[in-house]
């Protein structure tokens, strides 16, 4: 059975990972929304929807990879 200190450290690592993921997701969404707003042609869905989809795709591509790396790095540290 794991000690209480080990469980507390795992909860702290998990909380830290979630905070970093939330900050990273908001900044990467804003970046992809502002600078890569033409992922889809604006005539197809409109400029606002295309920019939103671009931001969502950027979050999925960038933050999923970063969160996997961060969890693996902190879990084995």
Q: Express each pLDDT in 32-76 by its tens digit.
A: 888 877 777 777 878 788 888 888 888 888 888 877 887 787 777
Domain ranges of the chain: 30-77
Runs of H (alpha helix) within the chain: 4-35, 42-45, 47-58, 64-75
CA distance 37 to 29: 11
C-alpha to C-alpha distances, 67 to 4, 6, 14, 70, nearest whole angstrom: 25, 21, 11, 5
Residue-wise pLDDT tens digits, 64-77? 887 788 778 777 76
- Burial class, 73, CB count within 10 angstroms (exposed 0-12 / middle 13-18 / buried 19+): exposed
């Amino acid at each position: 059975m794991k000690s209480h200190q080990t469980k507390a450290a795992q909860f702290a690592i998990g909380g830290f990972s979630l905070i970093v993921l939330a900050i990273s997701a908001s900044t990467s969404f804003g970046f992809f929304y502002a600078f890569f707003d033409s992922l889809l042609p604006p005539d197809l869905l409109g400029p606002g929807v295309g920019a939103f989809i671009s931001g969502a795709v950027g979050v999925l591509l960038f933050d999923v990879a970063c969160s996997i790396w961060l969890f693996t790095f902190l879990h084995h540290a």
